[in-house]
Amino acid sequence: MAVPFSPSNENRYPTPVAGLSMYDLPELRAVGDLWWSGLARAFRAEGIDEVPDRLDRVASLEALWGAPHLLLAQTCGYQLMGEWAGRLEYLATPRYAAPGCQGAGYCSWIVIRAACPVNDLEELRGARCVINSHGSHSGCNALRALVAPLARDGRFFGSVQVSGSHTGSLALLQNDLADVTAIDCVTYALLGRYRPDALAGTRILTRTRSVPSLPYATRAGASPDFIRRLRAGLCRANSAPALADACDALLLAGFEVLSLASYECTLQMASDAARCSYRELDS
């Protein structure tokens, strides 16, 4: 459930706050801190005042996105266009150097157990599905769009459970508590590099449609000049030689400023599934 602005949220975040928790694996916390230090320097160089020294890793995503003094966060394009429409201001779309990414686009891998004998999606009819959350594009919306045309009487899977995270979904596969899941291809690449055990005993069956990757955003109502400075800071930091190793570790290859309409495809995918009368993965 999204957290709207409230006096209590104002009191909790009386000063600017930033968080980049979407791909913040524990193994990458030090690198994430280095990336933020570079971003903070770049934002200050662009004339932005009151830049926080540290990332907030305590607040939930919803609380962070709803902070009245939010400086920077990474969000989900599906939620940016859906329940968070008008409550966050789009900044830029990262380009990731990961298999499954092309330009500023990314996809989800449909992952099954390595020992599972199926060779195509149709063979997963009646399987045990696990998603990370109903609000996630990569873990739910993209998968829903993929299987909706195959559904019969509004169903395709035998069961659906919610794990709470991509790593949780993979663990359920590894322990034979689920048969199939959808994993953000950037998460999959980072796990393959830094936590390969999380992928052990699994394999990729197919992929979902490509959509723009997870956008960087700031608070709603930010002025055009503030947005311009933030975008300039992102570019400054990404091109800084001192941050090249950090960007490489994060698979971060650059940024593109897209039109907000570029993310409408995520809503269209949900609408297309609904037109197929497929609501099995709805919350």
What CA–CA distance (Å, rounded) separates 182 from 180?
A: 7
Q: What is the pLDDT of residues 122-156, one digit of tens each?
A: 999 999 999 999 999 999 999 999 999 999 999 99
| pLDDT higher than 50, residue 4 | no
pLDDT tens digits, 202-258: 999 999 999 999 999 999 999 999 999 999 999 999 999 999 999 999 999 999 999
d(CA 223, CA 32): 27
CA pair distance 196, 213, nearest whole angstrom:
23
With respect to residue 1, please indicate whether it lies within any of the assigned structural domains. Answer: no
The reported pTM is 0.93
The 10s digit of each residue's pLDDT in 253-280 is 999 999 999 999 999 999 999 999 999 9
| 134: amino acid identity, one letter | H
Structural domain boundaries enclosing 22: 7-95+213-260
Shared domain check, 182 and 49: no
Domain tally for the chain? 2
**Domain identity same for 47 and 154:** no
Rounded to whole angstroms, how far apart are CA atoms 141 and 282?
A: 9
Model confidence at 9: pLDDT above 80: no
Q: What CATH number does residue 43 fall under?
A: 3.40.190.10
Region 42-71: what's the mean pLDDT?
A: 95
Nearest Cα to 97, choosing from 217, 232, 214, 250?
250
Q: Within this chain, do residues 19 and 37 fall inside the same structural domain, yes or no? A: yes
Average pLDDT of the residues of the chain: 94
At residue 13 the predicted structure's pLDDT band, cuts being 50, 70 and 90, is low
Residue 45 binned pLDDT confidence (cut-offs 50, 70, 90): very high
